[in-house]
Amino acid sequence: TSTEVDPLKIVLLQEMDRYNGLLSLIFSCINDLEDALCGLAAMTPAIELTMTSLLDQKVPQSWLAVYPSLKPLGAWLRDFMSRLNQIENWIAVGTPKVFWLAGLTYPTGFLSALLQLYSRKNGVAIDLLTWENPIIMSDENKIEKSPDDGAYVCGIVLEGARWDQDNGCLVDSFPLELVSPMPLIHFKPTLSKKKVRKRAL
């Protein structure tokens, strides 16, 4: 109905809340460290831990509460800015045509929102739905519109395997190749015949 809130808007608001909280924490940590170094505040164990992490090019542990990461500080900051950029574009431009799934703090919530949208649109119970994942052999910048159902997702990588474009299947990764990028994937909700038959029994 018209009064129902768009599940994707809820996802956006939750992502904004988490990232804003993380930004506030980072600014607070940096300000506290500056004050301590200038002699305006005491050097507490927490501030000293932050300083040690930054000097070692590591992400302070408290900054990892929103989403886990093993990246060193420089790579983490670049990744963090890319995450913020996705959220900012979502706010300014509207729902992305292609989502960077790994750039969300809670990808499971995003996928659940896609299922909710399909459930409402087609009047089917959400627990009867499953996923189809067609591979989209197109550059993400050439995608002109969102799919009718679900979402296009980019940024997924494979370890120990790669996508064979010629044969349309997964094959062994190349020698010494640690990770291999996947093409765009359409996360498409669909009715599960197996679940429907099971409920009918």
Cα–Cα distance, 79 to 63 (Å, whole number): 13
Cα–Cα distance, 161 to 181 (Å, whole number): 10
Cα–Cα distance, 137 to 116 (Å, whole number): 27
Dump pLDDT digits (tens) for 14-68. 999 999 999 999 999 999 999 999 999 999 999 999 999 999 999 999 999 999 9
| Amino acid symbol at 138 | S
Dihedral sign of CA atoms 163, 168, 171, 176 in order: negative
Non-local (6+) Cβ contacts of 167 within 8 A are none
pLDDT at 198 over 90: no
Rounded to two decimals, the pTM is 0.89
Please give the structure tokens belonging to residue 107. 């990808």
pLDDT at 112 over 90: yes
Dump pLDDT digits (tens) for 72-98. 999 999 999 999 999 999 999 999 999
- In this prediction, residue 121 carries a pLDDT of 95
Please give the structure tokens belonging to residue 156. 């997924």
Cα–Cα distance, 32 to 37 (Å, whole number): 9
Strands 179-181 and 157-159: antiparallel
- In this prediction, residue 195 carries a pLDDT of 73
- In this prediction, residue 131 carries a pLDDT of 97
Non-local (6+) Cβ contacts of 12 within 8 A are 87, 90, 91
